[in-house]
Amino acid sequence: MNPCLAVSARHISHQFAGFSALNDVSFEVKRGQTMALLGHNGAGKSTLIKILLGLLKPSEGEVIVLGKNHSELKQRNELRIGYLPENVSFYDKLTGKEILSYFAALKRVTKPRVSQLIEEFGLEYAQDRALKTYSKGMKQRLGFAQAILCEPELLLLDEPTVGLDPVASQFLYGKIDELKQQGCGVIVCTHELSLIENNIDIALILAKGESLAKGSLAELRQNSGLKTRLTAPNLASWVAQEPRLAAYYADDALQLDAESKSQVLQLVMSECQVFDFSLTQPALAEIYHFYMSQNKQTQAVS
């Protein structure tokens, strides 16, 4: 396997008692790359995460994680994989430090690493308090610290920022960025599309166990054909004066695709002398809804 890959999943299918939870899903995540794993409830995201963790063996297909097939491993903790489950719940009578120390012992991680993470995650002041006194943000920081105890080369995060305030969310994404810089591959399952948009390199969109779309945001935008919007003050009057713009004008904006973009920009700037304008690319949420609606239409036809 390519040593630059954190994950290579080929033609993964999984059935639960005859029910198809995943069907022929393939993707790759490079080391130092973050992939968003997206899909409605029941799309198969958790099933895929369990397969990557080695908790489930896929009915079909091959998964190579950090260069290894799970069946080759003598022990699961041979691979440095970090995992933050959704709604992380620890025994709440233990203190933050006791919880991290417990996982450190399981993962054979040294005590100084526990102290280092407590400090790094700003939990020193609360390390000797029982977990039940922690806020949601503090619990999530502790959960994240638990996930990266082993200095993971692959990090799997299930809804890492749900219920967190913007500062706490940004803190976690900052940490994810640091890990990426160190070459860690990251997979994030989330429904918070606007939050993750600027923090990912690639996305995989699942629907009912099938891969609907995958690629970088630029590729997903390009393949969707969704248009970039150009807006400007008094745009309607500029369009009235320059009839060549009329074909692109809809919903108070010029709607630009990859082919027309440079030509229209030229018209706007050199013919109309308009320089005060904004370009808005389709957001991840728009791209996601586009692929979901395409899928519904395909299913309705078939």
Cβ distance to ligand ATP smaller for residue 89 or 181 = 89
Task: Tell me the closest approach of the beta carbon of residue 208 to ligand ATP, in angstroms.
Answer: 8
Task: Tell me the closest approach of the beta carbon of residue 294 to ligand ATP, in angstroms.
Answer: 19
Closest CA to 248 of 267, 234, 270, 233: 267
Task: Tell me the closest approach of the beta carbon of residue 209 to ligand ATP, in angstroms.
Answer: 7
Residue 52 burial by CB count (10 A; 0-12/13-18/19+): exposed, middle or buried? buried
Cα distance between residue 95 and residue 92, in whole Å = 8
Taken in order 116, 122, 125, 127, the sign of the CA dihedral is negative
Side-chain half-sphere exposure of 269, counting CA atoms within 13 A: 10
* DSSP H or E segment with residue 194: helix 193-196
Cα distance between residue 190 and residue 241, in whole Å = 46
Cβ distance to ligand ATP smaller for residue 49 or 176 = 49
Task: Tell me the closest approach of the beta carbon of residue 227 to ligand ATP, in angstroms.
Answer: 30
Q: Which residues bind ligand ATP (CB under 6 A)?
A: 16, 19, 21, 39, 41-47
Task: Tell me the closest approach of the beta carbon of residue 261 to ligand ATP, in angstroms.
Answer: 35
Cβ distance to ligand ATP smaller for residue 9 or 256 = 9
Residues in the chain: 302
Cβ distance to ligand ATP smaller for residue 65 or 230 = 65
Q: Are 23 and 210 in contact (CB under 8 A)?
A: yes
- Six token digits for residue 20: 């198809």
Q: Are 291 and 231 in contact (CB under 8 A)?
A: no
Cβ distance to ligand ATP smaller for residue 153 or 159 = 159
Cβ distance to ligand ATP smaller for residue 19 or 125 = 19
Task: Tell me the closest approach of the beta carbon of residue 23 to ligand ATP, in angstroms.
Answer: 11
Taken in order 38, 41, 44, 49, the sign of the CA dihedral is positive
